[in-house]
Every structure is written in structure tokens, then in C-alpha cells.
A and B are shown apart, each in its own frame.
Chain A
Amino acid sequence: MKIIKKAQSGSFESSDIIVLIEPVVEKSGRNIEIDSSVMLEFGDAIAKLILDKLDEYNITDIHLIVKDKGALEPTINARLETAIMRACDLQKGTL
């Protein structure tokens, strides 16, 4: 999958996560920045979740920034998917 445009999802609220995605030059790889209020306790877990999600969508080139305030895994997954689908222009309108 190819990142076409800038996109974001989520919020800065406590127990949520904000995900920002930018397209990058082809073959420049994955540039991932993680900032979390629970970095020490869950930083590795969050990183793994992100990589798994990018693999799932076959995304190899991306600039992705997340700022987490203690979101649970389902929240992180939902925010990631939303941002990815918006950035890849897969999201066809909202309700």
C-alpha cells in the first residue's frame, strides 16, 4: 500500500493516542516516532503494534508520528487503521 497524502486520527486526550502520517519518497523506508506517557512500561509494545499494522497493510515507506497518552491496544489499532486508510485514500467518506 502506498501513502498518498497527509492524514491523522485520534486526539491528545488521556487514554487516547494521536496518529500523524506523511508520505515519503519511495524506498526511503519507515520513519517512526513514538512518544508516550507510558513509554517505559509499554514503549516496546506500542512499537510492535505499529510495525505489525504497517506489515498488515504492506506499507514500507512512511513517516509516522504517534503521541500516546495511555491508550489501550484496541484504541491504538483503531487509530492506526483510520490514519492509514485516510492516508492511502481508502476511506470513502464518513457517516
Chain B
Amino acid sequence: MKNIIGREVPEYIEGIGKTDMFIGAWEKLKKGWMDEPTIPPPNKAKTPHLSKICETLEEAIKKTSPKDGMTVSFHHHLRNGDNILVRSIEILANMGIKNITLASSSLNEVHNPILKYLKDGTITKIWSSGIRGDIGKAVSEGVLDIPVIIHSHGGRVRAIHTGKINLDLAIVAASAADEEGNATGSHGKSAFGSLGYASIDMRYAKQVIVITDTMVEYPCIPISITQNFVDYVVKVDSIGDASKIATGSTRITKSPMDLRIAKIAADVIEHSGLFVPGFSFQVGAGGASLAVAKFIREKMIKSKIKGSFILGGVTSYVVDMLNEGLFNAIFDVQSFDAAVSSSLMENSNHIEIPAALYANPYNCGCMTNKLDIVVLGALEIDLDFNVNVITGSDGTIRGASGGHSDTASGANLTIVVCPSFRGRLPIVKKYIHTVVTPGETVDVLVTERGICVNPIKPELEENLKKAGLNVRKIQDLQEEVEAIVGKVKEVEYTDKIVGIVEYRDGTIIDVIRQVKK
């Protein structure tokens, strides 16, 4: 059947069960409490002065008594430098464990080597906020019988504490830890910054292993992962490729197209009515999105406006804005470059936050709810402003839901920045492959060819027009783009569902079908 935003979603999905249909971005949350109970986290005990130290990761994993059908979790703060996930899965596979549910907060190209374990039945189910590289392609081609479930960063927390994801084992990589398992990502040779996504795992997993390449004397400070949740501690030579974990400072793009889009987006913010003292702000780390921060910084200095807080994935560029006094605080769920780690250590107004506080919809108010302005990217956007950030133009999984729908839902002003087409592929389209973020939570689209305001925000449109900005109908923009690039031959799908896209509240907003070869 078609759900409320017109996506064809079956009422029953093989391997998943009856579909809880998406009913609107805030409908399920409106009544103020949730029907799903929070499951109790495990009760554990240790007698005094027992050692948690294991010589190898293998020893630690064996001590947790892994079994067929288990769920094992990881965080993706090591980005494309991670070598813990692959090693752990290899160890489990060598032990002959089958039917593993993999619950990593995201999957990147660096995880390509586990593809063989999807083929041989070691891993049979995946929960993740995003899948890139070979795994995304293979999943789209139908390598797994059970569809993968794509959640948002906030949705992952909800799925864990309501017991939809039932963690048996969490393997938490940290750049520094002590013998009891107090751990951080903010210092050590592989420092990666915030450990925000791992926080819920340590609370709910039946067994928790902390793995580090820098053992420090007790106590490890600051304490992101706390010892009362940790079963075992392992010291290894390396948790990953430091050059890919900590990639220096993120630079502002030099692409003229991205800069032009960013400049227009900054003009939109300036004239939106929300560019006022005390505003809060989030930008992504990608090209045009981060470049918006550059232009906003200039406008803040010029008009002497000081903001409240910066949220989210944090780059060194916004750390500079904190240090210049343009904002009071940074709330950091995930750090994007090396320079951020030292700020997290040294600046008391740069605060590490767990994913629950960042974006979980099932609590008394996550920080995305307090957000004024967010600038997001898109792989595709349709005429109703629905956004796809998970599947590429060929219909295969290659992106990440991340915090896209969480922040879009929370912010007063959600701006999507993207070129109108990329390498002949249209981004603004009549029909997009997958919806991750519903159009009702997106306020304005900014492209190099003009600004489109969601009709649900007539006041915003009025403000932007008054400021003389190039505001136009999204339908006109779509037609213009199609006239330039030509008609795209549509991708053909089979009936097999290879992925399910959960909205942050746990309802199903869309499904991903197998691409016909």
C-alpha cells in the first residue's frame, strides 16, 4: 500500500513482520509518551579487584561466549580508518558463529572485507545508519535474505532502548582507556574525538569490550565510556589507520559550484528571520554544507550577531567559530577531524554528547529539537521536498541516513543544499529512489539555479522574495534541469525488498528494492 507520502510499502515484509507505517513526522510523538516500553538493561556484577584485561581481542570475544544468532555492535567514530569491526567479525567467523546480526552505527568502504561473511551466512541481518562501498552494492543486489534496516542516529538509540535491536556484544574502540575500561576518543595516537554513538551500546549490551591502542594509567580522563558498563579491556597495537581516522583539518571546498550554493544558502539564512542573536546552528562536513559556515561566520562578524550553540558532527572550522566567540558552546556527538579532539579535551564549552541527547525522539527533548538552523545535503530531492540520502542514481545503497531526518525534524529552518544536477544526473527530480527525510520537515532547497521554498512556509518565501533573492517554484527548476540533462532512463527493480528505511520514530517511511540486473 502507499503510505502518507505516497511511497509503496508492503503491509507485511518477509523477515521483518507487519509494517508500522509512517504517519507524519511528529504524529507519533504528539501525545507526549510512547507505547513501546524501555527494556531493562542487563544486570551485571564483578567482585573487587578482578582484572578485566585480556591479552588479545580473540580472548576477550571468547570470554563473552558468543553464540549463533547473536547481535554485535560497533560505532563508526573511526570512520574509514577502522580496523576493529572487520577483525572482530573475522574472529567470530573463525569461531564458526553464524546468523550474526550486525548493528554498527554506520558502515563504510573500510568494511568491504566483511562482504564474504554476508555471503556465507555468518552475518544475516544488518542494522545501520548508512552503508557505503561494496556492502551497499551487494545488499542492493540481494546478498541477504532479510532486508537491512536503515535507521537515523536518533532512531538507533530508540531502537536499542526499546529492544528492537537487542545487543549481545558491543565492541567499543577507544583511542585511550584504562584497565577498568574507562575510555575516551579525545586523546591517544588514534584520537578521533567524540564517542557519542557508543554511549547507548555500553548501557544496553549484555557484554561490552573496550579495545584501545593507548593504555593510560587509571583513571582515563575524560570518561566517555565508564567502567561500570565494561566487561573486558583489550590493548592492541592499532585500532586503525590513524591517517584515515584523524585527517587533520577539514578545509572549506574550493569548488566554485559548491561555494556559489553555499553563498546563496547563507543569504537565505540571513533573510530568513532566524538570523538573530542566540541562534543555534548545525552544518555537515560535506562541500557546500560546510562552506555555508564560512559565509555565516562572515555575516556574524559583520552584523555582530552571537549565536547560542553548534550541534552535531563537528569540524575544526566550527571549533574556530567557538574560539572566536561566535557561539557559546559546541555539542559534539561525532567529530570529523583531528583538530576537534584537542578542543574536546581542552575547551569546557566543547561538550561531548551521547546520541540519545543528540537526536533520540523518545525522550523529553533531544538537542535537535532545540536547533534553529540546519544545513543538509541530498542525493536526490523530489517536488514535495522529500529527500533521499541513502540510494544513488542507480538505485543502489551508497549513502547514509545519519542525522539527516533527526535534524530536519527538529530545526526551525531546514535548508537542503545541492547542485541541481551532478555529472548529468539530476538531483531535483519528479520521483526519487528512496525517501529518508520527509518533505514536511524540509523548508528550503538551495541550488546554483535558485531557491525553492516549501509551500508550507509561505512567510519564509515572502521574506526571501522581499530580500530580492532568486526564489522559484521547484516544479520549474525540475523542468529546467530535465531540459538540460535529458530524460533519465529509469532504474528497474524486482519485487524483492533489500532494505527498509525507518523514520526516527520507528515507523517505516520507505523500502529499498533489489535492482534488476
Contact = CB atoms under 8 A, between A and B. Distances in A.
B423 A42 contact: no
A38 interface: yes
Contacts of B486: 42, 45, 72-73
Contact of A38 (B423, B484, B487, B491): B423
* Most A C-beta atoms less than 10 A away, residue of B424, B425, B489, B491: B424
B393 interface: yes
Contacts of B485: 72
A69 interface: yes
Contact of A40 (B422, B423, B489): B489
A41 B489 contact: yes
Contacts of B394: 40-41
B1 interface: no
30 contacts: A14-B423, A15-B423, A15-B424, A38-B393, A38-B424, A40-B393, A40-B394, A40-B489, A40-B491, A41-B393, A41-B394, A41-B424, A41-B425, A41-B488, A41-B489, A42-B424, A42-B488, A43-B489, A44-B489, A45-B487, A45-B489, A69-B423, A70-B422, A70-B423, A70-B424, A70-B425, A71-B424, A72-B484, A72-B486, A73-B486
Given A15-B423, A38-B425, 14 more contacts: A38-B424, A41-B393, A41-B394, A41-B425, A41-B489, A42-B424, A42-B486, A43-B489, A44-B489, A45-B487, A45-B489, A69-B423, A70-B422, A72-B424
Say what secondary structure dominates the interface of chain B: loop
Nearest to A71: B424
A17 to B, nearest CB: 10
Interface in B137-173: none
Interface string B475-501: 000000000111111010000000000
Interface residues of B, number: 13
Interface residues of A, number: 15
A42 B426 CA distance: 12
Interface of A: 14-15, 37-38, 40-45, 69-73
Contacts of A44: 489
A44 B423 CA distance: 17
A74 to B, nearest CB: 9
A43 B489 CA distance: 9
Contacts of A69: 423
Contacts of B491: 40
Contacts of A41: 393-394, 424-425, 488-489
* Most B C-beta atoms less than 10 A away, residue of A41, A43, A69, A71: A41
A4 B423 CA distance: 33
Contact of A37 (B423, B484, B488): B423
A16 to B, nearest CB: 10
B484 A42 contact: no
A71 B489 CA distance: 16
Interface string B406-428: 00000000000000001111000
Q: Considering the complex of A and B, which 8 residue pairs feature the smallest CB-CB distances, nearest first? A: A70-B423, A70-B424, A41-B488, A38-B424, A40-B394, A45-B486, A41-B489, A14-B423
* Most A C-beta atoms less than 10 A away, residue of B394, B484, B486, B488: B486
Nearest to B484: A72
Contacts of B425: 38, 41, 70
A5 B422 CA distance: 35
B396 to A, nearest CB: 10
Nearest to A69: B423
